[in-house]
Amino acid sequence: MKIKRGLLAAVLLLAFAVSFFFSGVDAVVTHKGTVAETFVPHYLTLYSLSSAPSLLLALIIALFIFALLSLFHGQPNVSFLFMAIMTVLYIVFLITYCAETRNNSVYNILNEQFLAEGIKVKKRDFNITMTPNWWCWLTAALILASTLTIFPDFRTPVTRYRLKRQVEPYIFIAPHVLLFVVFSMVPIIYGIYAAFTTWDLYNDPVFAGLRNFRTILFDSENTYFGQLRKGLWNTIKFMLYVTPFCIAVPFSIALATRSITRGSKVLQAVYYLPSLLSTTTVMLAWKYFFNNTYGMAVNLFGSTWNWFAPPYTWVMMIIITAWWGTGGTMVIYQSALASVPDDQYEAAAIDGAGAFGKFRYITLPNMSYPLMYTCVTTVIAQLNVYGQPNLLTGYNYNGANAVLLMYIRDTAFTQNIAGIASAMSMVLGAVIMAISFVQIRLMRGDSERAKRASR
């Protein structure tokens, strides 16, 4: 019986998806006898980001997926929870969205009609009447029906207990899930969607298929093709140059401060301090340090390099990034080193192991996980580099140090070409994921070999 109810609920849920596709709002506005009207389907509202209620639609879609998955995993009570929230959100959406008498997206569509007629209407004079079409009511009815189909039976203690066990964990994780969905999942989905559109961040995006990807990946004559190649290659170069130092320097300091008995805490604080500073503060301070005329590098240390011209720009950025990023990684290493049992070192000493032997066969194997973790996070962090080249070198020397995020930021927010920028972001994301994946696989193998060797 339960299986049948679940199946029925799933069917109703899928019917909801179909009905949702046809649901929408009829919008009408009248100005001095001229009528402008349009139909705004929900999917248009969803991707137009036209107002706050459109976010509710995104949440409803997310909940729909969760509800369906819960049903397939034999958890109707959890699915019921998601569907109940969906029902409430959908009704709230219909009420709030239809109350928007000057919805920006709808205003743009209707205003076009007035302008085509040669009539200029100020937005303040718009009073749009929005009425849900009958599909909306069917959609609401279907989701309500689906919810009621799997309404839990609260009468028996066993059901109440099961309900408590199944639902309670979700209530505990709900705040985090909500924040994750609103601030991470929805933007990621919109970002992916934007990559397939032509969008100026203001007007409604227009679906463009794979055009943006064709442009940035295959159209060798196009500016954005060049920017992606140059930006991505500079980003990878930066990561390759900087990462070894961002691992080796804090590791060395952690090892050194471990053996210092007096003042180690002070030293730790001193090394950690730079990581508390903001990007701008760090970059401006170092910019003056390396200044070719007034800088300490020239006047105190007698440097003759032009630190702001390649290839020295890379050296400068390695120094700054290693100095700036040492603190956080160092703390991880210090705590990991502190957890290495002293008796292992004592036993090794009895066996005649020297300092290198202890390091090679005791310290390193014990540090394999922190090292792996910091390697992955450092690589990801360095591939997301933006502040250093942006504030130190900009696009100088034919963009010799211009990284991909600089181009992405410029394209999205200076030029308002969000489609191309999102496509570039997706390429960067794919590269980061691929590198991290390979890295984790390689290091996992390494750490297992190291463990076997230490046995």
Binding region for another protein (CB under 8 A):
49-52, 100, 102-104, 107-108, 111, 120, 122-124, 126, 198-203, 206, 208, 212, 215, 222-224, 291-294, 306-309, 394-399, 410, 413-417, 419-420
Closest CA to 380 of 252, 277, 212, 242: 242
Residue 130 bridge partners (DSSP): 27
CB of 225 to another protein, least distance (A): 9
CB of 34 to another protein, least distance (A): 18
Which amino acid makes up residue 210? Answer: L
Closest CA to 38 of 133, 123, 125: 133
Nearer to another protein, 375 or 406 (CB): 406
CB of 304 to another protein, least distance (A): 13
CB of 277 to another protein, least distance (A): 20
Closest CA to 328 of 269, 272, 256: 272
CB of 360 to another protein, least distance (A): 44
Which residues, in sequence order, are CB contacts of 31 under 8 Å at separation 6+? Answer: 114, 119, 121, 125, 126
Helix (H) or strand (E) holding 441: helix 418-454
Q: Give the whole-angstrom CA distance, residue 298 versus residue 448.
A: 48
Nearer to another protein, 72 or 202 (CB): 202
CB of 188 to another protein, least distance (A): 18
CB of 411 to another protein, least distance (A): 8
Q: Give the whole-angstrom CA distance, residue 167 versus residue 79.
A: 9
- With H, G, I as helix, E, B as strand and everything else as coil, classify residue 23: coil
Nearer to another protein, 152 or 295 (CB): 295
CB of 115 to another protein, least distance (A): 10
Nearer to another protein, 83 or 216 (CB): 216
DSSP code, position 209: T
Nearer to another protein, 50 or 87 (CB): 50
Closest CA to 224 of 240, 208, 234, 212: 212
Q: What are residue 27's phi and psi, to 5 degrees?
A: -115, 130
- With H, G, I as helix, E, B as strand and everything else as coil, classify residue 31: strand
Nearer to another protein, 51 or 264 (CB): 51
CB of 295 to another protein, least distance (A): 9
Nearer to another protein, 268 or 422 (CB): 422
Residue carrying structure tokens 């109350």:
99
Nearer to another protein, 205 or 370 (CB): 205
Per DSSP, the residues of 134-189 read HHHHHHHHHHHHHHHHT----SSHHHHHHHHHHHHHHHHHHHHHHHHIIIIIHHHH
Q: Give the whole-angstrom CA distance, residue 32 versus residue 266.
A: 76
Residue carrying structure tokens 């299986």:
3
Nearer to another protein, 60 or 316 (CB): 316
- Please tell me the total number of residues recorded for the chain in this structure: 455
Nearer to another protein, 187 or 394 (CB): 394
CB of 105 to another protein, least distance (A): 9
Residue carrying structure tokens 């496509």:
423
